[in-house]
């Protein structure tokens, strides 16, 4: 039942993200779940110039704004790359 566990995790992450304000930050695990990808893939995307910039919360902690990730998703959905 690994697949249903993954779906539950994704669903929970998306529900949480929708309830958050525009300035709310999500850590890599939640950001990856919002996109339905692995954290490794998230970091690969983060190295591309069109992906939202990471916010360095501290020396070892990074996060992304929920609003930035949603805007990036919208541009992808509209055919922009």
What is the tens place of the pLDDT at every residue in 44-70?
999 999 999 999 999 999 999 999 999
| pTM exceeds 0.95 for this model | no
Average pLDDT over residues 29-53: 96
> Model confidence at 81, in pLDDT bands (50, 70, 90)?
low
* 76: Cβ contacts below 8 Å, ≥ 6 apart: none
Scanning the chain, the segments in alpha helix (DSSP H) are 2-19, 28-35, 39-46, 66-77
CATH number at residue 18: 1.10.1660
Q: Give bridge partners of residue 56 from the DSSP assignment.
A: 62
Residue 49 domain boundaries = 2-77
Query: Per the structure, how many domains does the chain have?
Result: 1
């Amino acid at each position: 039942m690994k697949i249903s566990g993954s779906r539950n995790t994704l669903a929970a992450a998306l529900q949480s993200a929708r309830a958050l304000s525009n300035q709310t930050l999500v850590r890599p695990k939640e950001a990856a779940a919002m996109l339905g990808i692995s954290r490794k893939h998230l970091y690969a995307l983060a190295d591309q110039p069109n992906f939202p910039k990471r916010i360095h919360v501290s020396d070892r902690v990074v996060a992304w704004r929920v609003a930035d990730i949603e805007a990036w998703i919208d541009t992808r959905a509209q055919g922009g790359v």
